[in-house]
């Protein structure tokens, strides 16, 4: 009915449509979609223009183009599989073999979960893609019918994208609540001042102090959001100078001393100098975030700040005797928008950005951050920065 070039044109058009459709589902990941599209186009055209046998096997093709093509797709990081109608593997990329975790040569030899996924796709026999869960990961499966009952499967791991979308939705909900709280407080206090025509200086001063506190809270939240945006786009510079950590830690202590005194907590800092070559403002942000985090998640005891030099690195520690963090939460602790214990955080507040910002700033310095914690005993954060 159609000539061979016409079929190729139609198939390529379908692929482009699939790419566009996929782009609208995940607009933030255009590069991955373009890469997938190029790969599928290469496979289509290599098959249709090949003078080889009807059965397509990349390793068996000896033409110069196929050797280059085989080398190319072996470098593709995402899983790729080509099967025939009988379910035999004509090609399985190293990435696919890694997630399969066995030496299957056909669909029947795969585990129950993967067999169900591939069999379902073959039964549908449509050019399309859909999401599925496998081995605690989320994949987007691109399924394309090739010539003579040959089928192409491309698996894209979208676990991070799905997690980011979920966390972003949660953050927007949390942020709207957190922003509403100080705004409502400022509105209520200002209305009271206006309507009651208060004359008592002490009462007025108390109201103004509350407005000032809520204003600072709003400013911190907005600043965290802007800093997070800059870090995610790498629009931030590290301006290193030589300075004394004692001066920096003392400044951080003064910022939080009143809040610590109010909760009956003790904030201990070193008394000796230690010089470091780093970005003063960024390290101060790191210190403020860790000290504030310890304040929020402690009800009693001592928060101890320390620093020392070890193996040409500066080690900074902040240790508290607070609620502690579960092992499950430790794995996600530094993820953007992640917050430990939602029920408790509804009272404590916070946007879930502080530790994510801290980790990114540490890494911008070429360092790393570690945490040890035990429920109901406290947590210890360790920042490791290169001295040079």
Q: Domain coordinates of the chain in residue numbers?
A: 5-157, 238-387
State the average pLDDT over residues 344-362: 72
Question: Per-residue pLDDT averaged across 153-157, rounded?
Answer: 86
In the predicted model, is pLDDT for residue 54 greater than 50?
A: no
If one compares 15 and 327, the residue with the highest pLDDT of the two is 327
Q: pLDDT value at position 6?
A: 45
**DSSP one-letter string for 123-167:** HH--SEEEEEEETTEEEEEEEEE-SSSEEEEEEEE-HHHHHHHHH
DSSP 177-232: HHHHHHHHHHHHHHHHHHHH----HHHHHHHHHHHHHHHHHHHHHHHHHHHHHHHH
CATH topology of domain 238-387: Heat Shock Protein 90 (3.30.565)
Query: What per-residue confidence (pLDDT) applies to 31?
Result: 53
**What digits encode the pLDDT tens for the residues 118-141?**
887 777 655 577 788 888 888 888
Dihedral (CA of 56, 62, 66, 70) sign: positive
* Per-residue pLDDT at 12 exceeds 80: no
* pLDDT band of 104, cuts 50, 70, 90: confident
Mean pLDDT, the chain, whole residue set = 77
Alpha carbons 116 and 125: distance in angstroms, whole number: 14
The whole-angstrom separation of Cα 40 and Cα 16 is: 10
Average pLDDT over every residue of 211-217: 78
Q: Is the pLDDT of residue 42 over 60?
A: no
**How far out from the chain centre does Cα 323 lie?**
25
The percent of residues in the chain predicted with pLDDT above 90, rounded, is 23
Please state the rounded mean pLDDT for residues 72-96.
81
- Position 153 scores a pLDDT of 85
371 pLDDT above the threshold of 90: yes
> 236-258: per-residue pLDDT in tens?
788 999 999 999 999 999 989 98
Q: pTM higher than 0.95, yes or no?
A: no
Cβ atoms within 10 Å, residue 94: 12
The per-residue pLDDT for 64 is: 37
Check whether 7 has a pLDDT greater than 60: no
- Token pair recorded at residue 217: 């809270």
Report whether CATH 3.90.650.10 matches the domain 5-157: no
Closest CA to 283 of 232, 328, 318: 318
- Whether residue 166 has pLDDT greater than 70: yes
What is the mean predicted confidence (pLDDT) over 34-54?
52
Q: What is the token pair recorded at 233? A: 């786009």
Torsion angles phi and psi, residue 54, rounded to 5 = -65, -35
Q: What is the mean pLDDT of residues 220-240?
A: 76
């Amino acid at each position: 009915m159609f000539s061979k070039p016409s079929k190729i044109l139609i198939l390529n058009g379908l692929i482009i449509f699939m790419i566009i459709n996929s782009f609208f589902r995940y607009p933030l990941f255009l590069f991955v979609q373009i890469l997938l599209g190029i790969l599928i186009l290469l496979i289509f055209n290599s098959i249709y223009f090949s003078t080889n046998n009807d059965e397509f096997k990349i390793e068996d093709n000896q033409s110069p183009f196929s050797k280059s093509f085989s080398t190319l797709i072996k470098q593709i990081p995402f899983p790729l599989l080509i099967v025939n109608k009988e379910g035999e593997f004509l090609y399985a990329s190293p990435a696919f073999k890694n997630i399969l975790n066995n030496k299957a040569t056909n669909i029947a030899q795969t585990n129950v979960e993967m067999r169900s996924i591939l069999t379902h796709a073959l039964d549908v026999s449509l050019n399309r893609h859909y999401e599925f869960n496998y081995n605690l990961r989320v994949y987007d499966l691109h399924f394309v019918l090739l010539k003579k009952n040959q089928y192409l499967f491309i698996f894209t791991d979208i676990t991070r994208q799905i997690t980011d979308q979920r966390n972003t939705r949660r953050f927007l909900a949390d942020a709207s609540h957190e922003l509403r709280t100080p705004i409502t407080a400022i509105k209520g206090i200002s209305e009271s001042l206006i309507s009651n025509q208060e004359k008592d200086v002490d009462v007025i001063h108390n109201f103004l102090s509350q407005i000032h506190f809520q204003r600072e809270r709003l400013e911190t939240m907005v600043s965290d959001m802007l800093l997070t945006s800059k870090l995610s786009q790498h629009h931030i510079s590290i301006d290193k100078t030589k300075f004394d950590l004692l001066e920096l830690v003392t400044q951080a202590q003064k910022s939080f001393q009143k809040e610590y005194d109010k909760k009956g907590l003790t904030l201990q800092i070193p008394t000796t100098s230690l010089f470091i070559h780093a970005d003063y403002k960024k390290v101060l942000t790191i210190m403020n975030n860790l000290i504030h985090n310890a304040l929020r998640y402690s009800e009693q005891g001592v928060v101890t700040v320390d620093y020392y030099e070890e193996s040409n690195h500066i080690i900074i520690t902040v240790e508290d005797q607070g609620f502690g963090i579960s092992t499950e939460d430790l794995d996600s602790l530094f993820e953007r928008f992640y917050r430990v214990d939602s029920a408790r955080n509804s009272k404590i507040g916070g946007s879930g950005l502080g530790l994510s910002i801290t980790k990114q700033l540490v890494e911008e310095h070429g360092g790393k951050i570690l945490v040890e914690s035990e429920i109901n005993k406290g947590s210890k954060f360790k920042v490791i920065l290169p001295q040079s």
